[in-house]
Amino acid sequence: MKEKMKRYGITGALLIAPIIGISTYLSFKDTAPAPVAKENIELPNEQIAQKPSVEINENVFFNYDSYKLNAGASSMLDDVAVLLKSEPNTMWQVQGHTDTRGTEAYNNTLGSKRAEAVKNYLVRKGVDASKLNTISFGESTPVSNKNDEEAHAVNRRVEFSKVNALTQR
């Protein structure tokens, strides 16, 4: 019996002895049936080719007490505009920040003006305004907590944060 089991690839057997005294063998193999290949399977577009996710790791920096874009910011924002237009289904948050000089209310207003200046520039470059939300963090989220000019300079910035990818319908 074991030789027959081995020849047919049966790795185990279960002997069942019903009440009437007749023996029956139930066999099983320890391998699953081979998968059946299906033809013409259609994958959703997002599974066929996904573009790498765009992240913006550059900040726009500002002079003290200013929301005017300088020449360096303009050239960097030109590149950002190209990236943002390549992802039309993504919402972005444009976040304005300030250093700690000035009142909290003043800095919140200044942070908003910085974020709006960046958003307006990007819209003029063809980015969809409805995909850009602005927010001011004022002085509440500094990059550096030091109290010197170098620290103040890195805190006067606008950052970008991806909010979500919109679903196509």
pLDDT score, position 148: 93
Q: Which domain holds residue 10?
A: 1-31
pLDDT score, position 72: 85
Strands 132-138 and 90-97: parallel
Q: Has residue 52 been placed in a domain?
A: no
Q: Has residue 49 been placed in a domain?
A: no
pLDDT score, position 108: 97
State whether 26 and 62 are in the same domain.
no
Q: Say how many residues make up the chain.
A: 169
State whether 156 and 104 are in the same domain.
yes
Q: Has residue 45 been placed in a domain?
A: no
State whether 71 and 21 are in the same domain.
no
State whether 98 and 26 are in the same domain.
no
Nearest to 11 by CA among 29, 34, 36: 29
State whether 21 and 64 are in the same domain.
no
* 89 Cβ contact list (under 8 Å, min separation 6): 165, 166, 167, 168
Q: Indicate the angle between helix axes 71-85 and 104-124, nearest 10 degrees.
A: 60
Show the CA angle centred on residue 100, arms to residues 99 and 104, nearest 5°. Answer: 110
pLDDT of 79-132, one tens digit each?
999 999 998 899 999 999 999 999 999 999 999 999 999 999 999 999 999 999
CATH of the domain at 78: 3.30.1330.60
For CA atoms 118, 124, 125, 131, the dihedral sign is: positive
State whether 13 and 76 are in the same domain.
no
Q: Has residue 143 been placed in a domain?
A: yes
Number of domains in the chain: 2
* Bridge partners, 162 (sequence order): 92
What CA–CA distance (Å, rounded) separates 63 from 70? 9
pLDDT score, position 12: 45
pTM: 0.67
pLDDT of 29-73, one tens digit each?
344 444 444 444 454 554 434 555 667 888 999 999 999 998 889
State whether 73 and 4 are in the same domain.
no
State whether 133 and 61 are in the same domain.
yes
What CA–CA distance (Å, rounded) separates 17 from 26? 11
Q: Has residue 36 been placed in a domain?
A: no
Show the CA angle centred on residue 67, arms to residues 62 and 68, nearest 5°. Answer: 85
Q: Has residue 44 been placed in a domain?
A: no
- Beta strand residue intervals within the chain, DSSP E: 12-16, 24-28, 60-61, 90-97, 132-138, 157-165
pLDDT score, position 125: 96
State whether 142 and 98 are in the same domain.
yes
State whether 158 and 122 are in the same domain.
yes
Q: Has residue 150 been placed in a domain?
A: yes
